[in-house]
Amino acid sequence: MQTILDAHAKTLDKRTTVFDVKIDSQTNNSLTLSGRVLFKSQLDELPRLLPDFKLDSASVRILHTDANERVHVATNLTGLHESPTFRVPLLSELTFGTELEVLEEQGKWVFVRQTDGYLGWAYRPYLGEGLAPAATHLVTAPAIEIRAEPNLASEVITRLVSGTGITIENTRDGWSKVRANRVGWVESHHLRALTSIPQTAEEKRIMLESDSLGMMGVPYLWGGSSGNGIDCSGFAQLLHRWIGIEIPRDADMQCNAANPVEPPYQLGDLFFFNENDTKGDITHVGMSLGGWRMIHSSRSHNGVYVDDMQERKSLMDIFVSAGSYLR
């Protein structure tokens, strides 16, 4: 019976769900279970998986509830990890203000769920209670300095990275007083008002081109999602966030959720690749700048650069499909 539960767990995506159920004991046709699941619906599904047994699931914890604590990232940037320690690779990065649901705690770490369902461990001291004020603007530069006063000679009090949502309290002579993990002044041209994000697909494509080229040379970082370092899917996600579209975090998720497209490719279409031998395993993503010309964050270049796929046989050999969130 345990093999049935374990086989079911393997069919689920651990990035967005939890199913860790164990059989503690068996008495005739009764099973006593323990462990944890993310949703109550998963608990309700257990009789279907084990139809010949009477189940005692009182010790199986349901992690997601409406009563769970909601918190926000209170530093300018922090990591999301697959286990509660800094000594593991990043799953992703979280900018100031990111809303999180606390599912469970372990020491100074919390297992959290983002609003898009993505799961991971975050360092509790870097989080703040409740939700941050609703953002009015996004940071559109790879990184910007917050200064004590509205001039370049003023003291730098912190930095914000690309994609961070902030609120503006005041403006003066090309500067904006912002509230994030610190309060201070930034040059206004590095900010984009949420109300100014274009609504048409064509206008969004134009914005995607200038935004993507503005990240040129940002170094590659596995799990990175900012101007400090970024991976391929973090780059694609950031570019879409800047134009008001939320897409999944990882390349395979982005491929599954996108609308399939065929040539001729338009600016903003996403190219998906399989760098491994596993059939259908999407491991890389880049964005078309029109046709086969692509901008992406790659390990081969160690960062964000442009490639013409028709001149790079190594890329054409692993190309799988294309998709778009603009069609």
**pLDDT digit string, tens, across residues 64-115:** 999 999 999 999 999 999 999 999 999 999 999 999 999 999 999 999 999 9
Q: At what angle do helices 201-213 and 232-242 cross, to 10 degrees?
A: 130
Q: What is the pLDDT of residues 194-214, one digit of tens each?
A: 999 999 999 999 999 999 999
Decide: 204 and 198 in contact? Cβ < 8 Å.
yes
- Cα radius of gyration rounded to whole Å, the chain: 22
For residues 71 and 102, what is the distance between their CA atoms, to the nearest angstrom?
A: 7
- pLDDT at position 276: 84
Q: Tokens representing 223?
A: 């799990």
Decide: 226 and 77 in contact? Cβ < 8 Å.
yes
Whether the pLDDT of residue 126 is over 70: the answer is yes
Whether the pLDDT of residue 164 is over 80: the answer is yes
Q: Topology of 197-324 in CATH?
A: endopeptidase fold (from Nostoc punctiforme) (3.90.1720)
Q: What is the pLDDT of residues 285-301, one digit of tens each?
A: 999 999 999 999 999 99
For residues 10 and 167, what is the distance between their CA atoms, to the nearest angstrom?
A: 42
* Mean pLDDT of the 241-255 span: 98
Q: What is the DSSP letter of 195?
A: G
For residues 156 and 184, what is the distance between their CA atoms, to the nearest angstrom?
A: 9
- pLDDT at position 1: 84
CATH class of segment(s) 70-129: mainly beta
Whether the pLDDT of residue 327 is over 90: the answer is no
Q: Tokens representing 138?
A: 């996004």
> What are the domain boundaries of the chain?
2-62, 70-129, 137-195, 197-324
CATH architecture assigned to 137-195: Roll (2.30)
β-partners of residue 71 are 100, 129
Do the domains at 70-129 and 197-324 have one common CATH topology? Answer: no
Residue 175 burial (CB count, 10 A): 20
